[in-house]
Structure 1
Amino acid sequence: MSENMTGARRWLILIVLCLATLVLVVDNMVLTVAVPSLTESLHASAQNIQWVLDSYILVFAGLLLTTGSLSDRFGRRRVLIIGLAVFGVASAVATLASNPGELIAARVAMGLGGALLMPSTLSILITVFTDEAERRKAMAAWTVVAMVGLVGGPVLGGVLISHFWWGSVFLINIPIAALAIVSAVILMPESKGPWRKPDPLGAILSIVGLTSAVWVIIEFPKGFVRPGTLGALAVAVVALVSFGIWETRIAHPMVPLQLFKQRNFSGGSFSLALVQIGNGGLLLVMTQYLQFVLGYSALKASLCFIPLAIAALIFNTLGAGLGMKLGNRPLMVSGLLICAVAFGILADLGVDDGLTKLFVGLFLLGAGSGLAMPAAITAIMGAVPPEHAGVSSALNDTVQQTGAALGVAVMGTVVTSRFTAGMPADVTGIARHSLGEAVGVAHSTNNSVLLESARNAFTHAASVAYVAGAVGVIAAAVVSFVVLRDSKTPVAPADGEPGTEAGTEPGTEAGSADGSLVPAEA
């Protein structure tokens, strides 16, 4: 195969990886739009709906580390294809669900498919694109697709729900998954890490610990001091601490925790966690602002996020070129600071503000994310040896998923508490604690005073949440500036000493001959 053909094949493989990522992101977002419709059709209770949403998250997050290790052991392409197949079949089952229990079971299976699929996409990307310049462009494209799916999912969901039944939001997963499977079989080479002994105890501890931790995060807004929540927290702490101790004691650990000794991996991971905590609740809060405060329909509200997607597309592309000239750290710091400015603008939104301020804030958020996120992931995955690509990708995914879930819980709690505190003392019942209920009561009773009070209280509560988001991304910028290091040009050895890279320290990453980054041996 010629070099040109080899290059063309790499970019075709990237399209497959983007399709695989798109099916996950779009599914997660369109479901939020379908909730009212499926609630009515399946006669689902509030608890049923919560399990429809949370069952997927629990399985997905709980299995990530184990499935990442499996992809390294048994083949990343094989695990990717299995994940796509499971996700596609489970989506078909979901469209046929006739009661909440069947839909919840289908969502559990979709969580399993997603957990198999997600680590494989990023690990295949970094093993296929070994040249740093190409890897940056590929990472930018992969991130753009994720951002477009994040923003476009609710838009697509709104269109589907307005013309078809609620199951159509799951039906769209099937052709995308099928196309990705066929393309993977035809185009993708298989890759795997060196053989290692199985680590069943590590797998069990990671699944129990991560699932319990995500459960605690989900239950946190309902009240932390509850027997079930405290019990889950105790299980999470014991399991995760035991997992960490076990993985450092055995000869062939499932997860190479020594990766966290590398500045780029640990600093990038911690920065991403902080960013996701800040961004995690953005769509949740902003969607309520657009629909309940400004009175937009679900479709019109989702269209307001288009500036975010456009900015992400532009600055992801721009960042791929700038990364080669400036390095990851400057892009991360500058991008995160732009995100902080965006949160500041959104925090100033009022009840009667037009769309100009909103669009400027969302555009800047997309621009900052477009610069920072690909640089962060490139720094993290550039510090990973190829044999650990799958489990390291899973670590990265786990950090982001946990941060996003924590962000939703924290920002949701902040908004709810501030909304309740801001409501007049004479407002009682559920309307005092829920914007949607307050707006519903106000419309049904033609109570304009209650409506205005609810809109003002929520807008103030959202401002507090956005300020918290700004603090999170500023903290991430500080971590990035202090911890991250960019590789420098190799310098000649002096006085017979081994050659080093300017600016690198023992134990940090050094450039390999093929242009990829591998850990320096101590």
Structure 2
Amino acid sequence: MTSPAAPARRVPEAVHRRRWAILGVLMLSLLIVVLDNSILNVAIKTISTPAPTGLGATQSELEWAINSYTLVFAGLLFSAGLLGDRLGRKKVLIGGLVVFGVGSALAAFSGSPAELIAFRAVMGLGAAFVMPATLAVLMNVFEREEQPKAIGIWAGGVGLAIAIGPITGGLLLDHFWWGSVFLVNVPIVALAVGLMLWLVPDSRDPSPGRIDPVGVVLSVTGLVLLVYGIIKGGQLADFTDVTVLSTIGAGLAVLAAFVWAEKRSDHPSIDISYFRDKVFSAAIAAIALVFFALMGVTFFAVFYTQSVRGYSPLETGLLMLPLAVAQLVFAPRARLLVDRFGNKATTTAGLVVLAATLAAFAALDADTPIWILEVVFFLMGAGMAHVMTPVSVVIMQALPREKAGSASALSNTFRQVGGALGIAVLGSVLSTAYRNGIEDDLGALPPGARHSAGESIEATLAVADRLGARGEALAGRANDAFLHAMHVTALWGAAVAALCAIVVAVFLPGRDRTPEGTEGDKELVSAGD
């Protein structure tokens, strides 16, 4: 007779025995999605180079190449999570991987920036079905007491992808054409699908929600209009332009309509009631604001290392290695600090470190010793690791296990939206500050060429190359203008991270609340059994 005090196992024994192998497969699937973005970070300078080396993409086109993926990803994440809950997470995960692989192959052979933007959107469609399913499966193959450890290892996989991505991208760009950074995804997808079919069990929500097509259309439309307006403002260096203001205003209006519709829907994409919990809201805000700051700063860091400092893509990948190593090392161990000091102290400290490292970019110059940049990257990775792991645990354990897909989708939706807005806003700050700094040096050029040459440092350097000896002075001015723009943008990113630290310090639970919440959760699980 089973003792009533013995905890009932919720995970089948056969699945429990292979749970760590399943986690490895889930991390491989996650690796593909994160790897793609980290590889692209190294490749954006090459893609901005005129054909045949690249596609000659402008800075705004580069922002859209990143954001077309991100916006589709973010806009469909919640519906993808619901489909996984309804149809089975394994089926949805495999389908998403296949679509991602097809999109990667198409992106590799893009003939223009417009094609690349479109095929990146296809990749975002596939990734939207991969990301929430990995965490949802994880929550269903690990018992509750092991979930924080498993999530920590899962988060460490992000650090591994960030480490592998830039180096892999650099190696590929040293030996092959720019499209190889996308084509490399295809064999990884094939391996992941094979292992998925062999090892991973299927799971679903016994009471799945209904798909909310109105919510999906409103959220994607609102975000695209908002991001388009912000990027257009940076491209024109004029945020008072009628087109810019009207587009941003329309985007905000559509997003307001989305919130209104979700409150009144009986099957919303996002259950607004979740955000009545201040702890849950603070954790979601932390994820969004962290990625706002980080993605925006990473966007200009590649141009700093390659355009200003003259490093190759491979060398840039190696320079970014400390960022990835720190995440890989600290993410699985962050839970130990949470156990000792609590969520609030750990996460706030991580955000303060992140804000300080972002501000440190404002002190970098063309001849700053490179070891200083390495220290900044390492501390940045350490700060991120001590934010992402505790915040992910708070979010995933805030909802019942059967709603794991929804919790994962919410987390990743706001992560991607934060990243997209970070690239749009901070990219536009960078573009505006750069144009204001270089425009006086472009006065001798025709009006059309003057506008395009002032959009980014790569465009200016391309003009300088065509001028021969006369272009040396222009190249020097381009470097100076970019460094000033980078300093301004870095301080904006640091301010956002500092704001996030304040939000977390006020609303996230401290050490005393965690055991009580955990015990309450366990009692609810037992009662539900």
User: TM-score, normalised on structure 1?
Assistant: 0.85
Counterpart in 2 of 1:144? Answer: 156
Counterpart in 1 of 2:31? Answer: 22
Counterpart in 1 of 2:83? Answer: 70
Question: Which stretch has the larger CA shift, 35-44 or 181-190?
Answer: 35-44
How far, CA to CA, are the matches of 1:517 and 1:271 in structure 2?
31
Question: Which stretch has the larger CA shift, 479-488 or 14-23?
Answer: 479-488
Q: Give the C-alpha shift of residue 61 in structure 1.
A: 2.7
Q: What is the letter of the counterpart of residue 10 of structure 1?
A: R
Q: Tell me the secondary structure at the aligned position of residue 522 of structure 2.
A: coil
Is 1:379 the counterpart of 2:403 in the alignment? Answer: no
Q: Is the 8 A contact 2:231 2:425 kept in 1?
A: no
Q: Is the 8 A contact 1:131 1:515 kept in 2?
A: no
How far, CA to CA, are the matches of 2:62 and 2:365 in structure 1?
31
Q: What is the letter of the counterpart of residue 174 of structure 1?
A: V
Q: Give the C-alpha shift of residue 99 in structure 1.
A: 6.4
Q: Give the C-alpha shift of residue 479 in structure 1.
A: 0.7
Counterpart in 2 of 1:208? Answer: 221
Q: How does 1:365-404 map to 2 (within 5 A)?
A: 365-404=380-419
How far, CA to CA, are the matches of 1:52 and 1:467 in structure 2?
25
Cα gap change, 1:347 to 1:10, in 2 (>3 Å): same
Which of the numbers 341, 352, 367 marks the counterpart of 1:337? 352
Counterpart in 1 of 2:447? Answer: none
Q: Give the C-alpha shift of residue 369 in structure 1.
A: 0.8
Q: Give the C-alpha shift of residue 442 in structure 1.
A: 4.4
Cα gap change, 1:472 to 1:254, in 2 (>3 Å): closer
How far, CA to CA, are the matches of 1:48 and 1:254 in structure 2?
30
Is 1:156 the counterpart of 2:178 in the alignment? Answer: no
How far, CA to CA, are the matches of 1:385 and 1:67 in structure 2?
18
Q: Give the C-alpha shift of residue 138 in structure 1.
A: 2.0
1:275-300: CA deviations, max 9, x gaps? 22211222221111111221212221
How far, CA to CA, are the matches of 2:184 and 2:143 in structure 1?
33
Is 1:452 the counterpart of 2:476 in the alignment? Answer: yes
Which of the numbers 459, 483, 502 marks the counterpart of 1:437? 459
Q: Is the 8 A contact 2:15 2:141 kept in 1?
A: no
Q: What is the letter of the counterpart of residue 461 of structure 1?
A: A
Q: Give the C-alpha shift of residue 241 in structure 1.
A: 2.4
Q: Tell me the secondary structure at the aligned position of residue 177 of structure 2.
A: coil
Q: What is the letter of the counterpart of residue 11 of structure 1?
A: W
Percent identity among equivalent residues? 36
Q: How does 1:310-329 map to 2 (within 5 A)?
A: 310-329=325-344
Q: Is the 8 A contact 1:38 1:166 kept in 2?
A: no
Counterpart in 2 of 1:483? Answer: 507
Cα gap change, 1:307 to 1:254, in 2 (>3 Å): closer
Q: How does 1:408-427 map to 2 (within 5 A)?
A: 408-423=423-438, 425-427=440-442
Q: Is the 8 A contact 2:93 2:134 kept in 1?
A: yes
Q: Give the C-alpha shift of residue 165 in structure 1.
A: 3.3
Q: Tell me the secondary structure at the aligned position of residue 253 of structure 1.
A: coil
Q: Is the 8 A contact 2:234 2:428 kept in 1?
A: yes
Q: Tell me the secondary structure at the aligned position of residue 482 of structure 1.
A: helix
Counterpart in 2 of 1:10? Answer: 19
1:119-161: CA deviations, max 9, x gaps? 22222223333424x3222222222222332343232122112
1:349-376: CA deviations, max 9, x gaps? 1221111211111111111111111111
Which of the numbers 83, 98, 104 marks the counterpart of 1:91? 104
Q: What is the letter of the counterpart of residue 324 of structure 2?
A: A
Q: How does 1:21-420 map to 2 (within 5 A)?
A: 21-32=30-41, 33=43, 35=47, 39-40=51-52, 46=58, 52-95=65-108, 105-132=118-145, 134-193=146-205, 194-222=207-235, 223-225=238-240, 229-230=244-245, 232-420=247-435
Q: Give the C-alpha shift of residue 96 in structure 1.
A: 5.2
Question: Which stretch has the larger CA shift, 145-154 or 13-22?
Answer: 145-154
Cα gap change, 1:487 to 1:123, in 2 (>3 Å): farther
How far, CA to CA, are the matches of 1:235 and 1:419 in structure 2?
27
Q: Is the 8 A contact 2:82 2:209 kept in 1?
A: no
Question: Which stretch has the larger CA shift, 77-86 or 57-66?
Answer: 57-66
Q: Is the 8 A contact 1:30 1:157 kept in 2?
A: yes
Counterpart in 2 of 1:465? Answer: 489
How far, CA to CA, are the matches of 1:48 and 1:351 in structure 2?
26
Q: Give the C-alpha shift of residue 260 in structure 1.
A: 0.7
Q: What is the letter of the counterpart of residue 172 of structure 2?
A: L
Unaligned runs of 5+ in 2: 1-8, 444-449
Cα gap change, 1:39 to 1:487, in 2 (>3 Å): farther
1:181-207: CA deviations, max 9, x gaps? 222222222222214445443343334
User: TM-score, normalised on structure 2?
Assistant: 0.84
How far, CA to CA, are the matches of 2:31 and 2:201 in structure 1?
21
How far, CA to CA, are the matches of 1:473 and 1:50 in structure 2?
21
How far, CA to CA, are the matches of 1:470 and 1:515 in structure 2?
40
Q: Tell me the secondary structure at the aligned position of residue 511 of structure 1.
A: helix
Q: Tell me the secondary structure at the aligned position of residue 339 of structure 1.
A: helix
